[in-house]
Amino acid sequence: MVTKPQSKPTSRRKFLAGAALTGAATIALPQISRAQTVTLKMQGSWGAGDIFNDMAKQYVDIVNELGAPRLKLDYLNAGAVVKAFEVQDAVNKGVLDGGHLVAAYWYGKNRAASLFGTGPCYGWDAHQFLSWFYYGDGHKLYAELTQKVLNLDIVGWYLMPLPTQPLGWFKFEPKTPADLKNLKYRTVGLASNVMQAMGLKVTQLPGGEIIPAMEKGVIEAFEYNNPTSDMRFGAADVAKYYMMSSYHQNNECLEIEFNKTKFESLPKEQQAILTHAVAAASSKNLWMAFPQYGKDLQTLIQKDGVHVYRTSESILQAQLAAWDKVVAQYSSENEWFKKISDNQKAWAKDVAYYNILNASDSKLAYNHYYGQEQPLGF
């Protein structure tokens, strides 16, 4: 018979000490965030009803869900703190922590800024612009322009590859470049220089001021961005001819900016949330836009009596010729304009070649299935 050795009784002091160590180890296991709690104030450049406001809120919702409860974005509409064209200045000064806008709204600081939103087509589109921004030299050039050349205390990213913007709203159907001569027209960014080169008289206005300007005769035609935004602010009340397709803003994206000092003061995990939420929101923005734009274009046609036409090739050719003049002028005057534009043109050469060569003929397929019901008449 083998006698088992008797275990020594554990003292109360040793038991409590061991339990304390075990408890400490147990408590230490979960990787709980100890980042500071912070609320950031962000304002958009959009009125309350604009779909761009909905897109900004998609970004805000993603950040707030991922960052809860220690990181929160408090989003405000245009005008809540500053006017639509003043958002970047407010972010730079720290009046706002962040902004949701477009580059065309701050190109007055340097014409090269508009290359990040309303630049030449070069055969590419907004999807390929984003590929240049994130996988080419775009983000580096943007940081150099904003931080080193303009001395702005901001960091920023682009998102939402906007579908090609229509030529806009008119009180008649312009068929040739001559029909546009001396027309008082609203646009923004480098598009204003392009349209001026075509002989139009251009006024730059934020979206909320377009309809009053049309009603007062300050402008006679305008472009803003898309069927949904245009319908919501009442474009069909002041014009009935909607010209689709244009090169004036062929590859624009939305922009998110944060005050650089504020952003860099945040813990790395919160910086990562703000950064990676940009890509998530970009996809959600586009997925929301496609069905809404299509639905609202049909509403404009069938309910509001809008005449929708595709812009003539002669006008499109005239736009390209105007772009050549604008690019040549500013490239000779502005080294950063030339540096960025040349970089974009080199990037687009092979990227656009592949995309154009490989793209299916969507018009052929559409007419195959819907031609008798709703033919594409161009």
CATH code, domain carrying 150: 3.40.190.170
Residue 219, in any domain of the structure? yes
Closest alpha carbon to 254 in 108, 49, 46, 77:
46
Beta strands in 229-313 (DSSP E): 241-244, 253-259, 307-310
Element housing 100 (H / E): strand 98-101
Residue 17: pLDDT band by 50, 70, 90 thresholds?
very low
Which of 290, 318, 342 is at the close of a domain? 290
Residues 188 and 238 in one domain: yes
What confidence tens digit (pLDDT) does each residue in 242-265 have?
999 999 999 999 999 999 999 999
Least confident of 23-32, 196-205, 229-238, 363-372: 23-32
In this structure, the answer to whether residues 284 and 350 fall within a common structural domain is no
In a domain, 375, yes or no: no
Q: Is residue 30 in a domain?
A: no
Q: Looking at the chain, how many residues does it have?
A: 378
For residues 281-287, give the mean pLDDT. 98
Range 74-99 average pLDDT: 97
Query: Do residues 328 and 231 share a domain?
Result: yes
Please report whether residue 364 resides in a domain: no
Residues 128 and 81 in one domain: yes
- Provide mean pLDDT across the span 11-30: 44
Do residues 243 and 148 both lie within one domain?
Answer: no
> Is there a single domain that holds both residue 213 and residue 156?
no
User: Which of 223, 171, 218, 154 is CA-nearest to residue 194?
Assistant: 223
Do 338 and 231 sit in the same domain of this protein? yes
Most confident of 2-16, 19-33, 74-88: 74-88
Domain of residue 190 covers: 168-250+304-358
**What is the pTM (predicted TM-score) of this model?**
0.88
What's the domain count of the chain?
A: 2
Residues 59 and 207 reside in one and the same domain: no
Residue 373, in any domain of the structure: no
Do 310 and 246 fall within a single domain? yes
Cα gap 42→88, rounded to integer Å: 11
**Residue 377 forms part of a structural domain:** no
pLDDT in tens, 93-144: 999 999 999 999 999 999 999 999 889 999 999 999 999 999 999 999 999 9
Note whether 254 and 160 are within 8 A (CB).
yes
- The average pLDDT across 189-204 equals 96
Asked if residue 245 and residue 192 are part of one domain, the reply reads yes
- 91 in a structural domain: yes
Residue 182 in domain: yes
Of 290, 318, 338, the residue at which a domain comes to its end is 290
Note whether 134 and 148 are same-domain residues: yes
- Indicate which CATH number applies to the domain containing 198: 3.40.190.10
Residues 155, 185 within the same domain: no
